[in-house]
């Protein structure tokens, strides 16, 4: 995924980030990894350890990207997303959320994505990839880890069996192909080459999937989760 980083732009790009995680050590680690603003272009403007703090800090600093832990005291990442929904939907300089979690349990991941996060990465991600993901989210793109793609495929695979009036909720063949390639570990550029489409098209497919996931029938997703004994 490092291919995405455009060396030419280099230091021109700047992004203001808030870190939300209840582990101080982890925040310090991430800060050390991505916080060298001159090199990475990432400027950490605030930190928070629980839901209330997060809402306060995000409202006060209006960052472009929030790195959001899924498990937080006070209601979890989903609660932060709910209370910051207005900021995320703002027409001018919207706040975008990227879930960063140690949990790769499907219900956590699907939960924050449905709550409005623009992407999801696990904490084992490398610093370079994380910086790259942050910029992608800032540009309005969705960030799908292979594992997230797998969960989404799973969710839609079991829900599209009786699609009568749910056509909006379904994935197109192309979107499914794109997801599959992401799940197999391909970078966007590689997917574009594989499917003979442009990287922009790949990105728009991914964004469409994300939108469908956020809009998709709540009932069916709940059923999916229940069937897997996730809730």
Positions touching other proteins (CB under 8 A) are 103-105, 124, 146-147, 149-150, 153-154, 157, 180, 183-186, 229-230
- Contact (Cβ atoms closer than 8 angstroms) between residue 131 and residue 94: no
Smaller CB distance to other proteins: residue 44 or 213? 213
**Cβ 38 to other proteins shortest distance, Å:** 26
How many beta carbons lie within 10 A of that of residue 222, not counting itself?
Answer: 13
CB-neighbour burial class of residue 185 (10 A; exposed 0-12, middle 13-18, buried 19+): exposed
- Contact (Cβ atoms closer than 8 angstroms) between residue 187 and residue 3: yes
CB hemisphere CA count around 214 (13 angstroms): 17
Q: How far apart are CA 230 and CA 223, in angstroms?
A: 10
Smaller CB distance to other proteins: residue 10 or 185? 185
Smaller CB distance to other proteins: residue 106 or 202? 106
Smaller CB distance to other proteins: residue 43 or 160? 160
**Cβ 37 to other proteins shortest distance, Å:** 26
For CA atoms 90, 128, 105, 206, the dihedral sign is positive
**Cβ 121 to other proteins shortest distance, Å:** 12
Smaller CB distance to other proteins: residue 174 or 180? 180
**Cβ 139 to other proteins shortest distance, Å:** 24
**Cβ 132 to other proteins shortest distance, Å:** 14
Q: How far apart are CA 29 and CA 200, in angstroms?
A: 33
Give the bridge partners for 97, in sequence order.
66
């Amino acid at each position: 995924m490092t291919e995405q980083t455009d060396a030419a732009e280099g230091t021109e790009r700047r992004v203001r980030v808030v870190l939300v995680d209840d582990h101080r050590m982890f925040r310090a680690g991430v800060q050390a990894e991505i916080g060298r603003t001159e090199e990475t272009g990432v400027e950490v403007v605030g930190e928070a350890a629980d839901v209330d703090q997060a809402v306060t800090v995000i409202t006060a600093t209006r960052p472009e990207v929030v790195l959001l832990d899924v498990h937080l005291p006070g209601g979890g990442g989903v609660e932060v997303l709910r209370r910051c929904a207005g900021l995320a939907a703002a027409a001018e300089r919207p706040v975008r959320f990227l879930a960063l979690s140690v949990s790769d349990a499907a219900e956590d991941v699907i939960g924050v994505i449905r709550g409005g996060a623009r992407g999801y990465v696990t904490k084992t991600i490398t610093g370079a990839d994380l910086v790259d993901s942050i910029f992608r989210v800032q540009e309005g793109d969705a960030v799908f880890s292979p594992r997230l793609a797998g969960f989404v495929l799973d969710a839609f695979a079991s829900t599209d069996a009786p699609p009568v009036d749910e056509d909006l909720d379904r994935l197109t063949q192309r979107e499914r192909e794109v997801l599959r390639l992401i799940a197999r570990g391909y970078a966007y550029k590689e997917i574009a080459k594989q499917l003979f489409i442009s990287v922009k098209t790949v990105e728009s497919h991914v964004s469409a999937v994300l939108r469908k996931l956020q809009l998709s029938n709540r009932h069916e997703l709940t059923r999916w989760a229940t069937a897997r004994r996730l809730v």
